[in-house]
Structure 1
Amino acid sequence: MLFNGADLVVHHTPGDTPYLLVVFGPAGYGHTAMHDYFGKVVSEKKRIETIGFAAKVDNWYMTPEMDDAFEVIQPILERFGKVIVVGMSMGAHTAIKQARRLKAHAVLAMSPKFSLDPEECNVPQQYLDKNFKPHMRGMGIKPEDDSERIIVAWDPMDSTDEEHAQLILAALPSASPVRMFYARHGVCESIAGADFMKEIIDSLAGNTPAETTSLIARIRRAHPVNIIFRLHACVGRHPLLSYLMIVSPRISRNRRAEHIYYNYGINGVLYFTLVIHGYDDEAVDLAGKIKNFLKYKEICPVGRGDMPPPIRLHTGDFQLVTCHGYMLAWDMQHRNFHGVQAFWPDNGLLPVIVRRHGHGFGVYVRIDGKLEPLVLKEDTVVLGTGAPDEEAFVVDSSGSKVGPGNKWSCPGLSVAISSSRGFLVTLPSRDIGLASANNCTWECLALLPVNS
C-alpha cells in the first residue's frame, strides 16, 4: 500500500513488464479498498507492474487526496517510458480525465460515464442520489481530455451507457470505439481472464488502437460469459442459432466452457424453446451433449468404455423441462411438485417421469428402480395406491397457447398436465401450482427422453 487516505487507497504490485499499468476501479467496492483493487489478481498472476487506485468513497476519484496520491506514485511513474491506464465504470471516467497527468501511452475506458452533472447530460437518478456532490459540477469529459490512444468500450444495448459513450466520442474525436454487444454494463466480464487481460494490456502497450479494438472484439465474441449473455438475450427468438453456437467445436473446446454447460437454467430454456419450435432432434442432441459434458467434461467424448447410451427420441419414458429451464420433480417430504436443475438433478428430489402407454401417458417417479404412479389426493401429490379418493393426472399432448389466438405446433415432445383443480403451472421460483385456469407458456412442459 502506497497511500491510505479518507477517500481512496493506492496499492502497488511489482512486476516484470516494461510498462506500468495504472488502474481505477468501479464504484461499490469501498469495503475492499484496503486490501484489493480492480484487476489485482491479473497483475499478480501475470507479473504486471501496477498501481491500483481503489475508492473508499464513490466520489469518482474527485478528491483533494488525488494530489497527495500522485506525489507518492511519481517516483514509480518516472521509472517507466510507457504508462497504460485502465478504468471500469466510475474508474473509466477517471482514466480518461487523468490520462494527461499520467502521461498515458494508452487508455482503456470500459463503460465510462460522460458526467454525473445533470446540467451536462441525462443522469440516472440513482447516481444523483448516491454519488453526485456539488463540487462535481462540470466534471464532464472535455476536448482537452482527447488523445489518439483512448479506447472506449461499452455495450450499445445498454441505453445509459450508449448515451454517455456517444457524448464521450463526440468530445474526443480521436478516441477509438469498441462496441461490446451483449456485455451489459460490466463489459470487463466479457473479456475477463488473466491470459485475455494480459494480451489486451500488452496490445495497448505495443499495438495501434485499431489492432487492440479488434483483439478485444475477438475475445468478447468467443468468451463464455458473453456467450451466456447472448443466449439469455436470443434463446427465445433464435433457438436454432443458439443451439448451433453452443454445440460448436470452437465453443466446446474453450477451456472455460464449463461456464456455459454448467448454466443449467439457460440450457434448460434452450431445450424447451427448441422443442416448442419443432426442433426435436436438436433438443435431444443438446441434452445428450450437456449430460456428456457434466460427466466427462467433453460434449463428444471419444473412446470411453463407460459411455452411457445416447438419448433416443422415440422412447417410452420422459422427464419434464419447464419454460423456465428447470426440471419437474416430486418432493416426497412435502408431497408436492417442485423444480430442480435441468439434466443433472442433485437436491434429493425425485424427477417426475411420464411414460407413454397406448395413446396416453402416466405420471410417475422411479423408486428402487420401479416406476410408482403419482396422484392428487386432498390437494397434495402422493404415491398412488388405488384408493377411491385418489385422482390421476391427465397428460395432454394437444398443445399450448403462446398468446391470445396463437398456438405452437407440438410435434410430440411437449405436453400439459392437469387435474380437476386445473393445469399444473410452473413459476420462475421453481414452485409449482396445481390450479391454473390457463393453458399457456407456463403450463407447457417439454418432454426430455430418458433411457430406461
Structure 2
Amino acid sequence: MDHTLTTTILYDDDEIRVIWAPADSKIVLITFGDAITPAKDHRFFADTPLRKSGTSAIGVMAKRANWYPSENLRRASQIILETIADYETRVAYGGSMGGYGAVKFSRLLAATHVIAMCPQWSIDREECDGRDPGWQQDFIPFMRGMAIRAADVAGDVFIFADSYNAIDDFHCRKIVENYPDAHFIKVPRVDHHVTTVFAGAANLRALIDGALTRDMAELRRIARQIRKSHWRWQTRILQYAMRRFPRLAASYLAGSDNRELLRENWRYFPQLISHIAETAGAPRAVAFYEEHASLIPSPAERLLIGAFLTGVTGARIAIATTHDSSLVYDVSENRAIHKAGPLAPWEFLVEAEFHGAEVTLLATIGGTRFPLSVAEDGSLAFASKGRREGMTFEFLHNEDDEFAIRHNAKYLSANPASSVACDRDGPYKWEMFRFRPFGGPSAR
C-alpha cells in the first residue's frame, strides 16, 4: 500500500538539492539520483518504492551530471546528520552516478550499509591510468581527484554490476581495491541497466533485507532471480541465442507471452514469422502478425514487417478502418472506397509507400503502380486527367497503435456508407486506420 510522505527541502544550492521524507520506519535510506534525472521539485531517486514501503528517506539530487561535488555534500551533511540523528540504521542507495554518491559519501553521512548499482569509481581519466572510464562528456576540471578512497567509505558495502560490461567491471574492481570490505555481486548480461532491472518496491525491500542481514548467498539469489525475470536480461540472452542458435531462439520467442520482451525484440519478427510459417503453417504466421503488430513501434515499421509477411505467406497487408473494412481502389469508378470481404475483379487494395516522413498511397494493377491523390471533392483517385492536389500524405500514429492519414491539414475519413474522403478537420474514430493482413496468396 502507498503511504503518505510529507517532503521538505532541507538544503538547496547551485549543484544539489536534499529532500527529507519522514515515515514510521526504524531505518532511513539516503538515496542519490543518477546523471540523467536532475533535481525537480520534491522528487528524488526511489521515492515511489519508498513511499509504498513507508520508509523514511533522505533524497540527495544533483542539478546536473556533476558527480556530487564534495564541498557541496559537506555543506549539506550537517543538516542531514541532524535530521537523521535518531536512526541507527542508515542505508545509502543509488545507481550509476547515484551509486558513486552512495559509496563516496557513506562515511560523511555515517551510513551503516551501502547498496550501489553499477557505480563509478572516478571519471577522471588521469586517475584511471589513462584508460577511458566513460562519461567523458560530463567530466570537467573541478572533478579532478574525485576517486573513491578508503577514507570516504563506511559500513557494509554491496555493489551490483554486470562484470561483462568492461567499464562497469573496472569501476567496481577499483572500489573493491580501495575498500576491500566491499562486496561485488555480479549481475551478468544486463549491461549498465542494473538500476532499471532492480527497480520496484519489492525488489528494493529484498535487497535491503539481504544487506541488513549480510546474507551474501541470499543477495546473490535475489540478484539472480530479479535478473532472470526482467525482460532486459532476457533480451540479452535472446540476442546471443539468435546469433548462435537462431531456430531455437525463434521457437522460444514465438511461444513467449511476455509482450514487453516481444516489444523490445520486434526486429526479430521476420525470423519468428518464418519459423511459425515453417512449423505451424502460414495461417498461424498471419495470426501472429495480427496479434502482435501493435508491438512494432511505428506504421512504417509495421508495414515493413507486413511486407515480409506477404513474401512468406502470400497474405497482403491492407489499410484497415475502424469499420473492420479495408481501403480499396475501385478501377471502374476511379475512386477509393472501403469494404469488408473479398474484392471484385476491378477492386484492388490501397497500399502505402513510405519516403521518410512522406507517404504515397497507390494501387498496384497488373504489376503497374498507380499513385492516388486527393481530388477537388476530397475523394482519392488516380490523377488521369485534370488538376489534382499533391500526392504525399502524413501518417500520424497514436497511443492505441492506430494512425491518421493527413494531407494539407485535412484527414482521410472512412464513413459508414463506404465512401472515403480527405476532408475532415480532425482525427476521430472514422479517421483512424491500422495495417492488418488481408487474405492469402490469391488476394489482390
The answer on 1:61 being equivalent to 2:60 is no
How far 1:105 moved relative to its partner?
Answer: 2.4
What CA deviation, in whole Å up to 9, does each residue of 1:386-437 have, x standing for no partner? Answer: 4xx8389xxxxxxxxxxxxxxxxxxxxxxxxxxxxxxxxxxxxxxxxxxxxx
* Equivalence for 2:21: 13
Provide the rounded CA distance (Å) in 2 between the counterparts of 1:45 and 1:267: 37
Instruction: Give 1:139 shift.
Output: 2.3
Task: Name structure 2 gaps, 5 residues minimum.
Answer: 1-8, 319-325, 329-339, 371-436
Q: Conserved in 1, the CA contact under 8 Å of 2:119 and 2:168?
A: yes
What are the Cα deviations for residues 165-218 of structure 1, in whole angstroms up to 9, with x where unaligned?
222233232222222222221311112222222222233234424422321221
User: Aligned runs of 1:21-100 on 2, under 5 Å?
Assistant: 21-30=29-38, 32-100=39-107
Aligned letter for 2:19?
Answer: H
Q: Equivalents in 2 of 1:354, 1:79: separation in Å?
A: 69
> Structure 2 matches for 1:417-432, cutoff 5 A?
none
For residue 400 of structure 1, what is the aligned residue in structure 2? none
- Measure how far apart 1:68 and its partner are: 2.5
Secondary structure of the 1:339 match is: helix
1:137 aligns with 2:138: no
C-alpha distance in 2 between matches for 1:279 and 1:202: 49
Counterparts in 2 of 1:364 and 1:20: CA distance versus 1, 3 Å: closer
The equivalent position to 1:390 in structure 2, one of 360, 368, 380, is: 368
What is the distance in 2 between the residues matched to 1:364 and 1:28?
Answer: 41
AA at the equivalent of 1:383: A
Residue matched to 2:432: none
Secondary structure of the residue aligned to 1:42 is helix
1:369 counterpart SS class: coil
SS at 1:164 equivalent: helix
How far off its partner does 1:86 sit? Answer: 0.8
In 1, the alpha carbon distance for the partners of 2:140 and 2:274 equals 44
1:232/1:266 contact within 8 Å kept: no
- Helix, strand or coil: the match of 2:30? strand
The structure that has the greater radius of gyration is 2
Deviates more, 1:192-201 or 1:279-288: 279-288
Aligned with 1:370 (options 313, 318, 342): 342
1:204 to 188, 208, 211: 211
Q: Could you say what secondary structure the match of 1:370 adopts?
A: coil
Deviations 1:21-70 (A, max 9, x none): 1111111322x443322111111222111101000132211242212211
RMSD after superposition: 4.3
Q: How does 1:352-367 map to 2 (within 5 A)?
A: 353=310, 365=318, 367=328
Amino acid at match of 1:26: D
Q: Percent identity?
A: 22
- Trace 1:234-313 onto structure 2 (pairs within 5 A): 234-243=241-250, 246=253, 252=257, 257-263=258-264, 265-266=266-267, 268=269, 270-272=271-273, 274=275, 280-281=279-280
Contact 1:247 1:286 in 2 (8 A): no
Change (3 A) 1:362 1:152: closer
Letter in 2 for 1:185: H
Amino acid at match of 1:198: R
Of residues 209, 213, 216, the one that matches 2:223 is: 216
Indicate the residue corresponding to 1:179 in structure 2: 186
Q: Displacement of 1:88 after TM fit?
A: 1.1
| Cα distance in structure 1, aligned partners of 2:159 and 2:281 | 39
SS in 2 for 1:150: strand
Amino acid at match of 2:25: T
CA deviations on 1:341-379 (whole Å, 9 max, x unpaired) are: 799x8xxxx9974697xxxx6967565222565799xx9
Distance 1:385 1:292, change over 3 A: closer
1:340 paired with 2:302, answer yes
Aligned residue identity for 2:260: H
Contact 2:50 2:57 in 1 (8 A): yes
What code does the residue aligned with 1:390 have? T
Matched residue, 2:337: none
1:105-125 per-residue CA deviation (whole Å, 9 max, x = no partner) reads 221111111212222214548
Instruction: Give TM-score, length-normalised by structure 1.
Output: 0.62
The 1:289–1:180 alpha-carbon spacing in structure 2 relative to 1, beyond 3 Å, is: farther
Query: CA separation in 1, counterparts of 2:163 and 2:282?
Result: 32
TM-score by length of 2: 0.63
**What is residue 115 of structure 1 aligned with on the other side?**
122
Q: For the Cα contact (< 8 Å) 2:32–2:95, is it kept in 1?
A: yes
Asked whether the equivalents of residues 87 and 94 of structure 1 are also in contact (C-alpha less than 8 Å), the reply is yes
Q: Distance in 2 between matches of 1:147 and 1:286?
A: 57
Q: Secondary structure at the match of 2:78?
A: helix
Q: Do the aligned partners of 2:31 and 2:45 also contact (CA within 8 Å) in 1?
A: yes
Give, in whole Å, the separation in 1 of the partners of 2:285 and 2:201.
30
CA contact (8 A) 1:364 1:373 kept: no
Contact kept in structure 2, 1:117 and 1:123, CA below 8 Å: no
Q: Is the 8 A contact 1:204 1:212 kept in 2?
A: yes
Name the SS of the counterpart of 2:197 in structure 1: helix
CA separation of 1:286 and 1:109: change in aligned 2, threshold 3 A: farther
Q: Which amino acid aligns with 2:63?
A: K
